[in-house]
Structure 1
């Protein structure tokens, strides 16, 4: 099961099909962009004033591009000229490249903690960071940069909310064991899964199925609900997640990759 938002589901579904698998798309989240003009106007000015633009998700890039196109007639290359750009992971880096932009900084480990450490080491004194994020975003990146006396111009430009229209399809798929693995690409998808599904349906699925995650923060979110049937990848990419699913052993007492 591909739980990504409808507009982002295609790459993951295609990767599954390329491997000969079948995929059911049941989006558990949707993106709700910020609509208040005063908030967007402040965010646009913050972008213009910043030395760095830091992106921790593909969604943060999409909403930033929409913001810039709404408030300026200049091209993206012109608007980003003179700024450095940081991406939290390979997927975010490729999203930037899709808009003709380049990530100047990319951590070896794809999470906010390692990205913050790289930024602190790479930034010059007095530089500022534009940080577009969701209302559900963790505070770790902003907290670590602020602690290092980096000025962060944070802008909450969107919210990630449960996709209520998927509730019936999700419940039916779990109860009838129509799927072997549920794939999560964000903590928000995990939270929506537990909000939209029943205990009975999850228990039925977990008799044979497993959960799969694409990042450490998503794994952490899943573990908070007590889930144990988790296929943990060695590398947090789409391919790594799919590898972990194919290698998962239902009778194992430990999660795949847990000892690595």
Structure 2
């Protein structure tokens, strides 16, 4: 049963946000507006990283792609930083149709006044590939996939299996942060939390890799663990992390609703 959020929904609750620091602002504001105490543990950091030779090759052929695929907000951000550095007219984008993973990514594309043609209900690369293939087969279709250093390999593999011609353009890198000496991590170890929110497989991997630095004290509160969507959930399962709740849609509203329901049952 859906519960209506109020200003006191998370009053007295300590909630851990694991997003990169620069991307945690909205989540912090939303949680604090609902009465929660936010603990920021930025398990990963994201920065631009573009191979200029690869970029030049892609931009030379920019008008030949039928589809451009964005799998994250970071991909949209850094791709268009480079695009506008080279081109001063959005019409240089050509006739590429846009496909995306996730509502946040779709919103970032729409901010560029571009239309999202395909966005699967489940926010995963596999589902996006399936949607593209079901729509028009993809045989010999030329596709540009915008990625980070941790590529969406399953997405590319499925498109290539469908005989698409796929080029990938990494425009950012994701790295694990070191929280061993972070005072916020120390507070988390000592007191624990009511819940911890994961928004990417990379954050899950970092949490697993940094287990010694995040090990809770004997009397610390064990948090419920939540996932924003299928790919994050899959990473949690693979690494043996418990999954206490999962957003029905890959966005913050759905995740906070799932969190509210999980805490109500605790």
Q: Shorter-normalised TM-score: what interval?
A: 0.7 to 0.9
Q: Which residue is 1:89 aligned to?
A: 102
Residue pair 2:229, 2:248 contacting (<8 A) in 1 also: no
Give the secondary-structure state (helix, strand or coil) at the position aligned to 1:104.
strand
Q: Which residue is 1:183 aligned to?
A: 197
Give the secondary-structure state (helix, strand or coil) at the position aligned to 2:167.
strand
Render the CA deviation track for 1:35-56: whole Å, top value 9, x for unaligned.
Answer: 4421322233354431111111
Q: 1:227 aligns with which of 234, 238, 241?
A: 241
RMSD: 2.5
Q: Which residue is 1:258 aligned to?
A: none
Residue pair 2:71, 2:100 contacting (<8 A) in 1 also: yes
In structure 2, do the counterparts of structure 1 residues 114 and 21 end up closer, same or farther at CA, with 3 Å as the change threshold?
same
The alpha carbon displacement at 1:203 in A equals 7.0
Q: 2:159 aligns with which of 145, 149, 174?
A: 145
Partner Cα distance (1:166, 1:32) in 2: 21
The alpha carbon displacement at 1:200 in A equals 6.6
Q: Which residue is 2:81 aligned to?
A: 66
Q: Which residue is 1:31 aligned to?
A: 46
Q: How does 1:50-65 map to 2 (within 5 A)?
A: 50-65=65-80
TM-score calculated relative to the size of structure 2: 0.83
TM-score calculated relative to the size of structure 1: 0.85
Q: Is 1:5 aligned with 2:20?
A: yes
In structure 2, do the counterparts of structure 1 residues 20 and 102 end up closer, same or farther at CA, with 3 Å as the change threshold?
farther
Residue pair 2:180, 2:213 contacting (<8 A) in 1 also: no
Q: How does 1:193-232 map to 2 (within 5 A)?
A: 193-198=207-212, 201-202=215-216, 207-228=221-242, 230-232=244-246
Render the CA deviation track for 1:236-256: whole Å, top value 9, x for unaligned.
Answer: 32122112222225987xxxx
